Structure 1
Amino acid sequence: MMRFEDILGHEQIKEYFKNALERHQVSHAYILTGEAGMGRKTLANAFAMALQCESGKADPCGECHSCRQFLSGNHPDVIYIRHEKAGSIGVDDVREQIINDVTIKPYSGPYKIYIVDQAELLTVQAQNALLKTIEEPPEYAVIFFLTTNSDSFLPTILSRCTVLKLKPLYDQVIKDYLKKQLKVPAHQADICTAFARGNLGKAIALSSSEEFAQMQEIVLNLLKHVPDMPVYEMVASLKEMKEANLNIKDCLDFMQLWFRDILMFKATMDTSLFIFKDEYKYIKEIADHSSFDGIEKILAALDKVKVRLDANVNFELAMELMLLVMKENIV
């Protein structure tokens, strides 16, 4: 099913779509913007299905001929734009699939709907070519641009579209979904949720990712044993991360979550605020051997190493300096 009520979060956008349906005030062009995995395509699909639904209600019925066609991926009046080149959506793509096609009336539904995924890949020329279609569309045409970056659009396109920005979901919503629907263990759901930062799609992917599990194992082994691990062993852990082709920025984000737990515990002594609830013993030990100033220096070093890596500073040197700060401030 693809009902609005089945979509987690994004209440304002869902309400906006429902009101548009009930009041018959459907725009001809929408830009749905947000991180990959946040639900842009799910929302666009739900709205498209509702627009074509024969029930005429704000939520698609899922049972009429139109809904069944949509759910099977065979609705003739819902078109997903393809593109030949991996890195761009060009003039020929939009001319063939939208501009020339939109003049043909819908085959069966009240609307003809075009869904452009990865719309940030639209070239300037393609956007200019679409401008007239967006300015003077047939009354039955609706175009969805799904993007991770609305700044990639020309001002002339932005001004003629309804822009809807997806917001991060509350952590508890994501935790509950992982634990109840996907049966992810509670401690792992906490870690995936914290790492996803409100992005349900990312949290789901992390919960079953072998690479993420491998990263946890390697990075946690390093973090838990900082007080008694010689520097050469810490450097060996860095080598292990690199050889495993782990995303180093993800590793650094993971480290920041760890030291966030230590800082929270040191400030409040409240274990319920932990992300790493299964690691109480190690978090307490490191908190006992650290000062507030020391933990803040470590967090600052983690921020600094990200900047250095973005500036293409030598990887080993930048990371080793960060480890030395970590070692010096956990005594």
Structure 2
Amino acid sequence: MAGYQDIVGHKRIKEQLKSAIELDKVSHAYIFHGPKDSGKMMLAEAFAMALQCEQKNPCGCGECRSCKQAMHRNQPDIIYVQHEKPNVISVQEIREQLVGDMEIKPYSSRYKIYIIDEAEKMNPQAQNAILKTIEEPPHYGIILLLTSNVDMLLQTIRSRCVRIDLKTVADDLIRKYLMEKHQIPDYQANVATAFAQGNVGKAVHLSTSQEFAEEKNQVLSIVRKVSDLRIADVGDRIKEMEVYKDDMGEYLNLMQIWYRDVLYWKSTGQIDGLIFRDELQEIRKQAERLAYRGLQIAFDCIEKARLRLQANGNFELIMELLLLEIKEIYQWQE
């Protein structure tokens, strides 16, 4: 478990939670809403640790027995609701782990805090079971619902909770975090940050993922050589791409970022704004060959391929058309 000091970004939310403790205006129910890996669990855990801090530090002191227990996830009055089936949280699990358990007073702390991750997986019966507890909780009871799809929760639950909507984190903060905290090389941090779109957890995953590194290298092998691609070799290249058929959205994003870098260099000649900075020599070469209109066509072709794939079009035909259309733009002149 991390404290607020270890959480990148989300300054407004951290201040809001800290103020709730300082002003003694803590609600009995919160919804932390944001995409997967956006930091919901880290914020909820830091808030829970601060609430239970024996020194009454609104950020958690990190030194008292309760804070140390919380950091190791063995604080007896911070309960993580578990579920056996991966796609559903049942009414029985909510009744046993939360509704019934909350009737028992805290073991050693001021509050009894329940953290429900993936709260959208509660079935309607489970949500109705928790609703009465949210409406009439004991004075020591606090429920933290974490969800990536708040609309899956009953309106009656949403209306009775303080909603915390996680915003994207600035790219420069994510890049700095990857390089300083995880010792990620700058060129690798650039790519992961661009793809994460403000999601710190996703950036960490991408920067350390061998699968993502292999996918990136495969895309680069395509865009470096597509201008010289022979018609007879198109089928072989499509077979290489087919490995990523189930996640072509990410693959096409990598292609778009490549041509975005080419356009950026052609327009500015500045290295600082490049994502694939370690590919500068090839980016410069392509920027000299490609016309502005050709680059716009490349973006349009990639987006059309994305839409066709989403419409369940034939993969091989869509990718063949994409490669041939992009190959064509290298023949254009300014």
**Common topology (TM > 0.5):** yes
Aligned to 1:33: 33
Residues of 2 paired with 1:25 and 1:289: CA distance? 62
Aligned to 1:188: 188
Residues of 1 paired with 2:233 and 2:148: CA distance? 40
Aligned to 2:56: 56
Counterparts in 2 of 1:173 and 1:235: CA distance versus 1, 3 Å: farther
Residues of 2 paired with 1:136 and 1:97: CA distance? 17
> What is the Cα deviation at residue 272 of structure 1?
1.8
> What is the Cα deviation at residue 292 of structure 1?
2.0
Kindly provide the amino acid, as one letter, of the partner of residue 42 in structure 2: T
Kindly provide the amino acid, as one letter, of the partner of residue 240 in structure 1: E
Aligned to 1:271: 271
Note the 1:85-124 alignment, pairs <5 A: 85-124=85-124
Quick check: 2:263–2:295 contact (8 Å CA) kept in 1?
Answer: yes
Counterparts in 2 of 1:234 and 1:163: CA distance versus 1, 3 Å: farther
Counterparts in 2 of 1:67 and 1:197: CA distance versus 1, 3 Å: same
Kindly provide the amino acid, as one letter, of the partner of residue 157 in structure 1: I
Aligned to 1:140: 140
> What is the Cα deviation at residue 12 of structure 1?
0.4
Quick check: 1:49–1:60 contact (8 Å CA) kept in 2?
Answer: yes
> What is the Cα deviation at residue 210 of structure 1?
1.0
Q: Which runs of 5+ in 2 are unaligned?
A: none
Secondary structure (helix, strand or coil) at the match of 1:102 reads helix
Aligned pair count reads: 331
Residues of 2 paired with 1:72 and 1:294: CA distance? 55
> What is the Cα deviation at residue 201 of structure 1?
1.1
Secondary structure (helix, strand or coil) at the match of 1:247 reads helix
Kindly provide the amino acid, as one letter, of the partner of residue 281 in structure 2: K
Aligned to 2:19: 19
How large is the Cα RMSD of the aligned pairs? 1.6
| Residue deviations 1:9-42 (CA, integer Å, cap 9, x gap) | 1000000010001001001111111111111101
Residues of 1 paired with 2:297 and 2:277: CA distance? 24
| Residue deviations 1:161-214 (CA, integer Å, cap 9, x gap) | 111111111111111111122221111111111111111111111122110111
The percent identity for this pair of structures is 46
Does 2:125 align with 1:125?
A: yes
Residues of 2 paired with 1:272 and 1:216: CA distance? 20
Aligned to 1:230: 230
> What is the Cα deviation at residue 124 of structure 1?
2.0
> What is the Cα deviation at residue 294 of structure 1?
1.8
> What is the Cα deviation at residue 243 of structure 1?
3.5
Kindly provide the amino acid, as one letter, of the partner of residue 199 in structure 2: N
Secondary structure (helix, strand or coil) at the match of 1:322 reads helix
Secondary structure (helix, strand or coil) at the match of 1:107 reads coil
Aligned to 1:285: 285
Aligned to 2:300: 300
The range that moved more, 15-24 or 174-183, is 174-183
| Residue deviations 1:132-153 (CA, integer Å, cap 9, x gap) | 1111111111111111111211
Residues of 1 paired with 2:263 and 2:14: CA distance? 38
Kindly provide the amino acid, as one letter, of the partner of residue 41 in structure 1: M
Secondary structure (helix, strand or coil) at the match of 1:114 reads strand
> What is the Cα deviation at residue 330 of structure 1?
2.1
Secondary structure (helix, strand or coil) at the match of 1:30 reads strand
Kindly provide the amino acid, as one letter, of the partner of residue 264 in structure 2: M
Residues of 2 paired with 1:116 and 1:218: CA distance? 39
Kindly provide the amino acid, as one letter, of the partner of residue 77 in structure 1: D
